[in-house]
Chain A
Amino acid sequence: MSLEKPYLDVPGTIIFDAEQSRKGYWLNQFCMSLMKADNRERFKADERAYLDEWTMTEEQKQAVLARDLNWCMRTGGNIYFLAKIGATDGKSFQQMAGSMTGMTEDEYRAMMVAGGRSIQGNRYLGEDGDAQPQHQPQGAAGQKKGA
């Protein structure tokens, strides 16, 4: 019998379940190490060398180096752990969350001030809301792509 995972049809969302957690164990533990100031300094001085101290997959290391949080999440990262990379880079939670949408920082902030992302069309994969795969990236980046 397989586990019940009713959340797989939510668009633009990866649920950090036991399977993702197992996959991302070392990636997330690496992130955790950045809570110590000494480690943040060592990481900033030579990111690749610091990452090589961890039993992470090469893909996880590449995702961190690229600061591609969506990629990090696919390889088992969790946003509360990945936030430690953002803190090391001096980024706010809003900047980090926004970076995953393709929107610029200003575009994302404006969306939030206007009441946030609408739920309409964003409940199930296959609908037509702005978080659906066919509408990525969002914001001006997406319009450029469509032009």
Chain B
Amino acid sequence: MARITASVYTSHVPAIGAALDLGKTQEAYWQPVFKGYEYSKQWMKDNKPDVVFLVYNDHATAFSLEMIPTFAIGTAAKFQPADEGWGPRPVPTVIGHPDLASHIAQSVIQQDFDLTIVNRMDVDHGLTVPLSLMCGELDPKKDAWPCPVIPFAVNVVQYPVPSGRRCFMLGQAIRKAVESYDDNLNVHIWGTGGMSHQLQGARAGLINREWDNAWLDQMIADPVGCAATPHIDYVREAGSEGIELVMWLIARGAMSDVVDGKVQGPAPKVRHRFYHVPASNTAVGHLILENA
């Protein structure tokens, strides 16, 4: 059967993608950001998954205001990097896993989560920046991402976004779905976005280092309590765009210590933790957890 063995958490700041694509990674401003992912790139090589289930949000790219799905799973065979207005990022095409993705869609809907199924979609920086951070720079034509990726888009653009609690429960449903798949696959689940940042208004540029780190501590050690954090706390303490952090709770809910909504198994091992301010407007947070 398939298994989720690890979860990865990372910010997906578009400027990080631009820094990679424009060859700025050695600049003093960017060096500390990329240094925080050196361990992670080696870890990816040493623990290569068969499939990555990648939770992210679309930033008015594939979804305009015509349709706003709260949870959307990409079941296509491939996904093209989107042109977000600056031209598509020069990264390889994202290869999907239609068979596992449709299996998860069916199983998760049967567990009462009404997913939107997407068979055609371009993927924006929310998905490709985490891949670049974890897999390093790749040639768009000659290279390929190390494994297939299932994109899972969450609405965090129009309020109200799904609650942390709902995301945490969804993660548990996704793990059950993966474990009911017959093939022997090693699956990683990634939660992306955050940490504190605000891109709008007079409060633009807000960073809350203390809150971010307390939230991270709690997400690792007390995920049930962390999932109870109300929307308004994210908005007030971590900025209007800091609310993206609810997506991390989907990945956290899929870890094996969480059973029937409670922490019952042994705690996951923290393989790597990193925090840095700033990348453009944003606090960068990153974490790797392995099941015990």
Interface residues of A (CB under 8 A from B): 6-7, 10-18, 21, 25, 28-29, 31-32, 34-35, 40, 69-70, 73, 78-81, 83-84, 86-88, 92-94, 96-98, 100-102, 108, 111-113, 115-117, 119, 122-124, 131-133, 135-136, 138
Q: Which of A35, A87, A92, A123 contacts B237 (CB 8 A)?
A: A123
User: In whole angstroms, how far apart are the Cα atoms of A15 and B205 in the complex?
Assistant: 16
Q: Using known A-B contacts A17-B160, A32-B64, A35-B85, determine if residue A116 contacts B206 with beta carbons closer than 8 Å.
A: yes
Bound Cα distance from A12 to B202, whole angstroms: 4
Is there an interface contact between B64 and A80, defined as CB atoms closer than 8 Å?
A: no
Q: Does B222 contact A (CB under 8 A)?
A: no
Contact B283 A116 (CB under 8 A): yes
B232 touches A92 (CB 8 A): no
Please tell me if the beta carbons of B204 and A115 are within 8 angstroms of each other in the complex.
Answer: no
Q: How large is the interface on B (under 10, 10 to 19, 20 to 34, 35 or more residues)?
A: 35 or more
A19 to B207, CA, bound (A): 27
A35: which B residues are within 8 A, CB to CB? 61, 83-85
Query: How many angstroms from the CA of A88 to the CA of B87 in the assembled complex?
Result: 11
Q: Which residues of B37-59 have CB atoms within 8 Å of chain A's CB atoms?
A: 59
Chain B residue contacts of A97, Cβ below 8 A: 198-200, 204-205, 281
Residues of chain B touching chain A, judged by Cβ–Cβ distance below 8 Å, are 14-15, 18, 29, 59-61, 64-66, 83-86, 157-160, 196, 198-209, 211, 231-232, 235-237, 240-241, 277-278, 280-281, 283
**Measured between alpha carbons, how far is A119 from B236 in the docked complex, in Å?**
9
Give the total number of A-B pairs whose CB atoms are below 8 A apart: 159
CB pair A119–B237 under 8 Å, yes or no, is: yes
A-B contact pairs, 21 of them (CB 8 A): A7-B236, A11-B202, A18-B159, A32-B65, A34-B85, A35-B84, A69-B200, A79-B241, A80-B60, A83-B60, A96-B199, A97-B199, A100-B204, A101-B205, A112-B205, A112-B281, A115-B278, A119-B207, A119-B211, A131-B202, A136-B202
Q: Would A98 and B204 count as touching, CB distance under 8 A?
A: yes
- Complex alpha-carbon distance, A111 and B198, angstroms: 13
Cβ contacts under 8 Å, B281 to chain A: 93-94, 97, 112
**Are B280 and A100 in touch, CB under 8 angstroms?**
no
B278 lies within 8 A of A116 (CB): yes
Partner of A79, one of B83, B200, B211: B200
The residue in chain A whose Cβ has the minimal distance to the Cβ of B241 is A79
Min distance, Cβ A119 to any Cβ of chain B, angstroms: 5
Residue B201 contacts which of A13, A78, A83, A124 (CB distance < 8 angstroms)?
A: A13
Smallest CB separation, A19 vs chain B (Å): 10
Cβ of A100: which chain B residues have Cβ within 8 Å of it? 200-202, 204
Say whether A133 contacts B60, CB under 8 Å: no
Complexed CA–CA distance, A119 and B235 (Å) = 11
Provide the residues of chain B in CB contact with A96, threshold 8 Å. Answer: 199
Given known A29-B64, A93-B14, A115-B277, contact A15–B203 (CB-CB < 8 A): no
Contacting pair A116 B207 (CB below 8 A): yes
The answer to whether A13 touches B240, judged by C-beta atoms less than 8 angstroms apart, is yes
Q: Report Cα–Cα, A138/B231, bound state, in Å.
A: 28
| B60 and A15 within 8 A (CB) | no
- A93 and B157 contact, CB distance less than 8 A: no
Known pairs A80-B59, A87-B85, A119-B211 / 14 extra A-B pairs, C-beta < 8 Å: A7-B231, A10-B235, A15-B240, A31-B60, A32-B60, A32-B64, A70-B201, A70-B202, A94-B15, A101-B204, A102-B202, A119-B207, A131-B202, A132-B202
Q: How far is the CB of B160 from chain A (nearest CB, A)?
A: 7
Decide yes or no: A116 and B277 within 8 Å by CB, A81-B60, A133-B202, A138-B202 being known contacts: yes
Query: How far is it, in angstroms, between the C-alpha of A11 and the C-alpha of B236 when the chains are bound?
Result: 9
Measured between C-beta atoms, what is the minimum distance from B236 to chain A in Å? Answer: 5
Do B65 and A29 have beta carbons less than 8 Å apart?
A: yes
Closest to B196 in A: A116
Interface contact A6-B159, CB-CB below 8 Å: no
A14→B15 contact, CB < 8 A: no
